[in-house]
């Protein structure tokens, strides 16, 4: 049977999601916890990889097993997992469900704070900018990303993808309790797409780029090189067709 997992992790001390021999990755920790619990070697498939330092509040994954623990997989796996990975929910799902291919929409958040000095508390959880950001200008610029666009200017080499067209279904920038939070939803994301969008919106926030500039970048398709740092990025949720 197939088990669906909703996973939260602090990406700080992981070399990203994907298995790499000898390195501490989220996938390896999960597969090792499943083996300890079930005695079976299972492959865990996520909605997508995340890079080193990137966090998740709602990463979604699946694996196949013969052991019918259903919802109890959450508590049982948490027993074997390190505290920087937590299974928020587990459930038996259909064999047709695929964490990557059944995904309909994904939401990421990018968290920024404005300060002259790095914060000891926010270290690893948010990205510092040393100047005041204009959130209104960031929102205005963000509208240029909305809808169906060719995002080839906003990807890095390494995207496993046939097409570079994606549909941004929601994008907003909010100031909240001293943090600035960029929220982006799309039917899919190219490699580094959110971190490049975040870098563009930070630029917009200090008046160095606007909506027209972003539209021009999208049209031309020439690579927008800035990439905002990984530690501000959170995979917030993944929505499914089934």
Catalytic positions, written as ranges: 51
For its own copies, give the closer residue by CB, 116 or 225: 116
Pick one of 95, 121, 162, 225: the residue that binds its own copies (CB under 8 A).
121
Which residue, 8 or 239, has its beta carbon nearer to its own copies? Answer: 8
> Rule CB under 8 A: is residue 236 a binding residue for its own copies?
no
Of residues 137 and 182, the one with the C-beta less far from its own copies: 182
| Interface region with its own copies, contact rule CB under 8 A, candidates 33-41, 121-129, 187-195, 197-205 | 121-129
* Residues within window 51-80 making contact with its own copies, judged by CB under 8 A: 55, 57, 74, 78
Instruction: Using the rule CB under 8 A, give the single segment among 116-124, 130-138, 157-165, 216-224 that binds its own copies.
Output: 116-124
Rounded to whole angstroms, how far apart are CA atoms 122 and 91?
33
Give the count of alpha carbons within 13 A of 224, CB side only.
30
Determine contact, residues 241/106, Cβ cutoff 8 Å.
no
Q: Hey, CA dihedral for 176, 112, 207, 168, is it positive or negative?
A: negative
Region binding its own copies by CB under 8 A among candidate stretches 30-38, 39-47, 118-126, 183-191: 118-126
Q: Which of residues 148-167 bind its own copies (CB under 8 A)?
A: none
Exposure class string for 102-135: b at 16+ Cβ within 10 A, else e: bbebbbbbbbbbeeeeeeeebebbbbbeeeebeb
- For its own copies, the binding residue among 2, 98, 100, 125 (CB under 8 A) is 125
95 binds its own copies (CB under 8 A): no
Per rule CB under 8 A, is residue 177 in the interface with its own copies? yes
Stretch that binds its own copies, among 81-89, 102-110, 164-172, 219-227 (CB under 8 A): 81-89
Closer CB to its own copies, 151 or 236, in the complex: 236
Residue 123 engages its own copies in binding (rule: CB under 8 A) = yes
91 touches its own copies (CB under 8 A): no
- Does residue 141 bind its own copies (CB under 8 A)? no
132 binds its own copies (CB under 8 A): no
C-alpha angle 131-132-137 in degrees, rounded to nearest 5: 125
* Binding interface with its own copies (CB under 8 A): 8-10, 55, 57, 74, 78, 83-88, 117-121, 123, 125, 176-177, 234
């Amino acid at each position: 049977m197939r088990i669906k997992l909703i996973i939260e992790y602090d990406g700080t001390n992981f070399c990203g999601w994907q298995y790499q021999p000898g390195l501490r990755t989220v996938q390896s920790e999960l597969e090792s916890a499943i083996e300890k619990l079930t005695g079976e070697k299972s492959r865990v498939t996520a909605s997508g990889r995340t890079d080193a330092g990137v966090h998740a509040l709602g990463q979604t994954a699946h694996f196949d097993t013969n052991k019918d623990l259903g919802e109890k997989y959450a508590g049982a796996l948490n027993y074997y997992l390190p505290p920087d990975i937590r299974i928020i929910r587990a459930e038996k799902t259909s064999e047709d469900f695929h964490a990557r291919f059944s995904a309909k929409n994904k939401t990421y958040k990018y968290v920024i704070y404005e300060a002259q000095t790095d914060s000891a508390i926010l270290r690893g959880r948010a990205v510092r900018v040393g100047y005041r950001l204009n959130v209104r200008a960031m929102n205005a610029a963000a509208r240029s990303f909305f809808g169906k666009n060719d995002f080839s200017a906003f990807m890095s080499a390494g995207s496993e993808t046939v097409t570079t067209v994606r549909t941004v279904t929601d994008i907003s920038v909010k100031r909240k309790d001293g943090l600035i939070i960029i929220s982006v939803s799309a039917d899919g994301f190219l490699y580094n797409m959110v971190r490049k969008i975040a870098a563009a919106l930070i630029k917009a926030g200090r008046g160095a780029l606007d909506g027209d500039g972003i539209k021009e970048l999208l049209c031309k398709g020439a690579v927008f090189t800035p990439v905002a740092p990984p530690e501000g990025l959170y995979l917030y949720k993944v929505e499914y067709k089934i």
